[in-house]
């Protein structure tokens, strides 16, 4: 059970596997006003940057769950680097079935709502680990501009324009699920650039170092088209944000 190797190659240099930079991640942590000792569960935690930096900056205690052995190795190394290994733990497993042993103050799925087959299922999963009055963090794309054709939809990694909603409807959907949106931090075009453009450098370095690898042709073809696709489509049409929810 692991992520495809192409994914870990593409994001091998990333600490944050979403279009957030460290400043936006810090802004989100400050906005939550968490007390020291607050317990956080992060499903599909990637390389654990949220848990590790918030353990350092806000003294939270946390558990991260992810399917990628590569990213979890990076998470454990980061915890050691920041001196928070006694405050966080990382579990290799399928986040779609993970429920905390005891209720947590914050339950998060930041950018991986496929673990619940979409937003409603992910919210339902997070609720299973959350204490009454606790907060959920959901990271989700939305349409900055409504796509005009199917080519734009697919270039934004969607199969249908209905896969995402405009921002107002995204917020309204959380209300329809019985939750108040109490905070949000949104990506901008610069943070999208930092996330996506870093993938191109990772790919190019890997291609130069691995000319005989079986993935070389596939990833070479990806790098041929990815920069133009990003600036033509994703950068203009696709937004992304973390929405903070408390059940009504």
The structure's pTM equals: 0.95
CATH of 5-145+155-247, one of 3.40.630.10, 3.30.70.3040, 3.40.50.150, 2.30.30.100: 3.40.50.150
10-39: string of b/e by CB count within 10 Å (b at 16+)? bbbebbbbbbbbeebbbebbeebebeeebb
The token pair that represents 127 in the structure block: 């609720």
- Of 197, 240, 230, which Cα lies nearest the Cα of 19? 240
- Average pLDDT over the chain, rounded to whole? 96
Domain ranges of the chain: 5-145+155-247
**pLDDT over 80 (residue 1):** no
Q: What is the pLDDT of residues 217-234, one digit of tens each?
A: 999 999 999 999 999 999
Q: What is the pLDDT of residues 152-175, one digit of tens each?
A: 999 999 999 999 999 999 999 999
Residue owning tokens 């600490």 = 15
Banded model confidence at residue 114, pLDDT cuts 50, 70, 90: very high
**pLDDT over 90 (residue 139):** yes
- Of 30, 59, 25, 31, which Cα lies nearest the Cα of 45? 25
């Amino acid at each position: 059970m692991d992520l495809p190797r192409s994914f870990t190659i593409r994001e091998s240099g990333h600490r944050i596997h979403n279009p957030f930079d460290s400043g936006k991640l810090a802004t989100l942590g400050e906005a939550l006003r968490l007390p020291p000792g607050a317990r956080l569960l992060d499903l599909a935690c990637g390389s654990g940057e949220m848990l590790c930096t918030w353990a350092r900056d806000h003294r939270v205690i946390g558990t991260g769950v992810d399917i990628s052995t590569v990213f979890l190795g990076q998470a454990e190394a980061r915890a050691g680097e920041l001196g928070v290994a006694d405050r966080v733990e990382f579990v290799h497993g399928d986040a779609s079935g993970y429920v905390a042993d005891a209720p947590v103050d914050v339950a998060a799925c930041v950018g991986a709502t496929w673990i619940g087959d979409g937003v409603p299922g992910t919210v339902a999963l997070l609720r299973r680990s959350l204490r009454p009055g606790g907060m959920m963090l959901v990271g989700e794309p939305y349409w900055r501009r409504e796509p005009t054709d199917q080519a734009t939809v697919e270039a934004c990694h969607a199969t249908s324009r209905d896969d995402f909603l405009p921002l107002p409807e995204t917020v309204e959907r959380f209300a329809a699920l019985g939750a108040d949106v109490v905070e949000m931090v949104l990506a901008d075009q610069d943070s999208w650039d930092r996330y996506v453009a870093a993938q191109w450098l990772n790919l190019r370095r890997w291609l130069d170092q691995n000319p005989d690898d079986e993935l070389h042709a596939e990833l070479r073809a990806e790098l041929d088209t990815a920069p133009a696709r990003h600036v033509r489509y994703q950068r203009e049409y696709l937004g992304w944000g973390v929405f903070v929810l408390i059940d009504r």
